[in-house]
Amino acid sequence: MEMAEQIESTVREVGARVRPQLDDAKRRLTSLNSSVTGYIKENPGRCLIGAIAIGFLVGKIARRA
Amino acid sequence: MRRMVVMETPEQHPSNGHSTEHWVNDSAHKAWDRTRGAVSELKRAAAIEERVNRHPYGSVAAALGIGYVLGGGIFTPLTSRIVALGLRIGVRLAVLPMLKDEISVLADALGGEGEGKGRRGGRAAKPSGER
């Protein structure tokens, strides 16, 4: 019983320590996602042509390899 | 006969007073305007902006795929690897829940059968207090 309590308290401690970092990472990822989608929506032609060009290059490289 | 404006030569309008440089400039402007018009028409027809607004990542992925195919990467070992990986993941995702259900049903059936046998045999599942 004592060991179980110890494990529980350790898990709680670790959770409390990690939670702010997780929240921060979540916030950063959300803002990154919104900025990327915003950029794509603002410049659709540029993004699509760039993606086609990148895919073309990857296809060429894959063909040679 | 109707002539294209872009194909006009200075000789066809000798009296308009434009120099060759002006004529080239005008022609380039007209060609650029027409190209822009064609591109905007194509955009409108394909509703590219709407699609990009609805699915930004999907549109970019589709464009990447189109480029990959245009680059000749479709019949390559990389494609076969990607397809094999996708198939493996798909089969796992589709088959594992089915297998899990089947195994749980089988286990339930076996458990029920075992309990039935135990009851019939009279040996199994004696309460621990009786031992």
**pLDDT tens for residues B88-105?**
999 889 888 888 888 988
Q: What is the mean pLDDT of residues B111-125?
A: 55
User: pLDDT confidence of B11, banded at 50, 70, 90?
Assistant: low
Q: What is the mean pLDDT of residues A1-29?
A: 90
Q: Mutating which of B39, B52, B57, B82 best tests the A interface, going by the most A Cβ atoms within 10 A?
A: B52
Cα distances from B87 to residues B78, B83, B84, in angstroms, run 14, 6, 5
Residues 6+ apart with CB under 8 A from A16: none
Residue B131 has pLDDT above 80, yes or no: no
pTM of the model: 0.55
Q: What angle do CA A46, B47, A55 make, to 5 degrees?
A: 40
Q: Rounded to an integer, what distance in angstroms lies between the CA atom of residue B23 and that of residue B3? A: 16
Q: Does B63 touch chain A (CB under 8 A)?
A: yes
Q: Is the ipTM, as predicted for this complex, more than 0.90?
A: no
Q: Contacts of residue A57 in chain B, CB cutoff 8 Å? A: 67, 71
Residue A56 has pLDDT above 90, yes or no: yes
